[in-house]
Amino acid sequence: MILQPFDVSVRGLALRGVHYRPDRDGDAPTVVLFHGFGGSRVETTGVFVTLARALTARGLGVIAYDRAGHGESDGDFFDTTVSGDIADAHLVLEAVRRREGVDAENLHLVGMSLGSVVASVVASENEHAFRSLTMWSTAALFVDEISGGTLQGRSLEGLARDGFFDFLGMRLGPALRDDAVTFDVYGRAAGYDGPVLLLHGTDDFIPVSYAERYLAADVFGDRGQLVVVDGADHGWAQLPQRDDLIARTVAFITANAR
């Protein structure tokens, strides 16, 4: 496996990441990873790195990047919105398609938590096709939760009192809330017509019903498959559930990359 820096300028911000390349010449099928809210391109205890290593061992390339205001990328977490992350992702994917070593006709998307919501809308609304979409622990509840005045079970009243919400020691501004109340999670994903794998744990704080809703006829219908893993939490921070997550994801992507 070869690691190369991945950098792209979006809205005057440098978004930074890494390109994991297989030990082979020429362009390879490539998987783009979208991390969760408040996270980074390596994801919880490095699960995205584990996935990248497994995929490159099978001849696929992987690109993971920190979204604006996250990780090593420019921007302020305070200004984060899901719609903004989606708009940025379209521009990032333009750079991915032009990149050496990438087969632009054989791209796949994987999203974790809120990153899976971003990935699903990008897959639906991008002008180019993607071979597959994989969604881990989809955070589709964020609209219902924020509309109800909470985020991950905590009151958003601090936005009015302090001007920010304390999210794990990071200041989050009101833009995420204002964007969320009009965001159509399922409607904006419904335009993707390729194969979808959803993986969700029984111990996730997000009810599995939010993943099941993607299988409705007006969203993915029979193009989607949901696997519910007993005992898995939101971050897949236990074994053997994480091994199952990686194995199923790799098998699904490689099958659709042929």
Domain boundaries, the chain: 2-257
User: pLDDT, tens digit, for every residue of 182-202?
Assistant: 999 999 999 999 999 999 999
pLDDT at 23 over 90: yes
Q: What length does the chain have?
A: 258
Beta strand pairing call for 13-21 and 61-65: antiparallel
Share of the chain above pLDDT 70, in %: 100
Residue 170 in tokens: 């990071």
Homologous superfamily in CATH for domain 2-257: Alpha/Beta hydrolase fold, catalytic domain (3.40.50.1820)
pLDDT of residue 197: 98
pLDDT at 25 over 90: no
What confidence category does residue 66 fall into, taking pLDDT thresholds of 50, 70 and 90?
A: very high
Distances (CA, A) of 178 to 147, 197, 198: 9, 30, 27
pLDDT at 47 over 90: yes
Chain center to CA of 158: 27
User: pLDDT, tens digit, for every residue of 112-166?
Assistant: 999 999 999 999 999 999 999 999 999 999 999 999 999 988 999 989 899 999 9
Q: For residue 190, which of 245, 133, 107 has the smallest C-alpha distance? A: 133
Instruction: Read off the pLDDT of each residue in 70-91 and give the average, rounded to a whole number.
Output: 97
pLDDT of residue 60: 98
User: What is the chain's mean pLDDT, rounded?
Assistant: 97
Q: What are phi and psi of 153, to 5 degrees?
A: 80, 0
Instruction: Read off the pLDDT of each residue in 65-87 and give the average, rounded to a whole number.
Output: 97
Q: 0.95 exceeded by the pTM?
A: yes
Helix (H, G, I), strand (E, B) or coil at 93: helix
* Residue 63 parent element (H or E): strand 61-65
* Start-end of H helices in the chain: 47-56, 82-98, 114-125, 142-147, 158-162, 175-180, 185-189, 209-212, 241-257
User: pLDDT, tens digit, for every residue of 48-65?
Assistant: 999 999 999 999 999 999
Distances (CA, A) of 128 to 8, 119, 177, 178, 185: 19, 13, 30, 29, 20
